[in-house]
Amino acid sequence: MTDSRSDDEKLPRWVKISGIITIVFILVFVVVHLAGGGFDHDHGGHMGSDH
């Protein structure tokens, strides 16, 4: 019964939400880069454009 109370005191709700959002953002970023690196193509690419 004290487990839920001590767990609540350890991490406030905003910390949990921020952590979840950060993890989701990182996962999406990694998946997009593994799928084809869409960010570089949309912006013209810094490496391949000049060469």
Token pair 């109370």 is at which residue? 5
Contact 32, 38 (CB under 8 A): yes
Q: How many residues does the chain have?
A: 51
Contact 33, 26 (CB under 8 A): no
Helices (H) and strands (E) in the chain, counts: 3, 0
* pLDDT, tens digit (0-9, with 9 covering 90-100), for 1-51: 555 555 556 889 999 999 999 999 999 999 988 888 655 554 555 555 445
Instruction: Tell me, yes or no, if the pTM score tops 0.75.
Output: no
d(CA 25, CA 12): 20
